[in-house]
């Protein structure tokens, strides 16, 4: 039902990464400013890490959106796990060179040295925990040679700790950790997304009790919150089309949030 009061709010919480959907929350904005400041420092590599769903990809995409307006920056949002393909893609997109031969690390570094760019190009690597140890070592060597400055994201897991210790122990001078939102931060996130899209009536339906329940269910995780709200508003769309008499437009009953949580697997029914 496309003209439903809830179809627009539902679509706001589709779980996709778009820098235009960035919502300013004090703690996240502080992290983002630290990330932007770090990029301007003479660092070889910057690590952005946190649990899945804490907003790493969003910050990386926003960084790409903001930096690409005035400097050379390339975003690798989907990991390129083949080492030859990885170096080829970087050579083509950073140096404008499309090699026919196998792209070795030495050849890649020769290209970087020959071009002698006035500013070190920036490469943003999302989901870096999916790269092999061998490729991570090549990334380290490229950054050590100052051919490219890397900003990488990693999930905060045991594997992330191993990667950080084995490959970047003395090479990351900036390490930024993202965490789940508090109840107050989650409230600001939800309200700002709705108000930004002029969904004032729907925004006013939420009360503090709703917000505390959603925070308890999602543990403040942004990805889980998006999924929960997408499911909640999908539920409202269905009822508005089929049984509108059951909808209260001035508030949201906790049981509706719980129904959505069951649908998304946040509550094990």
User: Per residue in 37-89, pLDDT tens?
Assistant: 888 887 778 888 888 899 999 999 999 999 988 888 999 999 999 999 999 99
Last residue within a domain, chosen from 123, 154, 178: 178
> Same domain for 137 and 108?
yes
The CATH number linked to 33 is 3.40.50.300
* Within-domain flag for 14: yes
> Same domain for 171 and 74?
yes
> Same domain for 77 and 196?
no
Kindly report the pTM of this predicted structure. 0.85
* Within-domain flag for 129: yes
Query: Both tokens of residue 180?
Result: 């789940």
How would you write 113-148 as a 3-class SS string?
Answer: HHHCCCCCCEEEECCHHHCCHHHHHHHHHHHHCCCC
- Gyration radius of the chain's alpha carbons: 22
Q: What is the pLDDT of residue 133?
A: 85
Domain count within the chain: 2
Residue 24 carries which DSSP code? Answer: -
Q: What is the pLDDT of residues 168-203, one digit of tens each?
A: 555 556 788 889 999 999 999 999 999 999 999 999
Residue 153 carries which DSSP code? Answer: E
pLDDT above 90 (res 235): yes
């Amino acid at each position: 039902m496309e003209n439903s009061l809830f179809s627009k709010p539902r679509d706001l919480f589709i779980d996709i990464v778009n820098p235009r959907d960035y919502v300013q929350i004090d703690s996240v904005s502080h992290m983002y400013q630290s990330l932007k400041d770090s990029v301007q420092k003479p660092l070889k590599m910057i690590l952005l890490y946190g649990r899945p769903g804490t907003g790493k990809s969003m910050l990386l995409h926003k960084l790409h959106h903001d930096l690409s307006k005035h400097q050379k920056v390339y975003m690798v949002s989907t990991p390129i796990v083949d080492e030859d393909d990885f170096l080829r893609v970087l050579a083509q997109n950073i140096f404008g060179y499309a090699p026919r031969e196998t792209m070795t690390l030495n050849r890649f570094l020769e290209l970087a040295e020959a071009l002698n760019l006035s500013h070190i190009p920036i490469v943003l690597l999302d989901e870096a925990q999916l790269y092999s140890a061998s490729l991570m070592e090549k990334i380290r060597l490229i950054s050590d040679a100052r051919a490219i400055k890397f900003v990488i994201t990693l999930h905060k897991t045991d594997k992330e700790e191993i990667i950080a210790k084995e490959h970047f122990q003395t090479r990351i001078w900036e390490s930024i950790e993202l965490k789940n939102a508090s109840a107050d931060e989650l409230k600001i996130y939800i309200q700002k997304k709705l108000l930004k899209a002029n969904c004032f009536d729907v925004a006013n339906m939420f009360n503090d009790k709703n917000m505390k329940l959603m925070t308890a269910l999602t543990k403040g995780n942004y990805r889980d919150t998006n999924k929960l709200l997408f499911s909640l508003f999908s539920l409202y769309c269905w009822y508005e089309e089929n049984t509108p008499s059951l909808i209260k437009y001035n508030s949201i009953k906790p049981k509706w949030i719980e129904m959505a949580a069951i649908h998304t697997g946040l509550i094990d029914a």
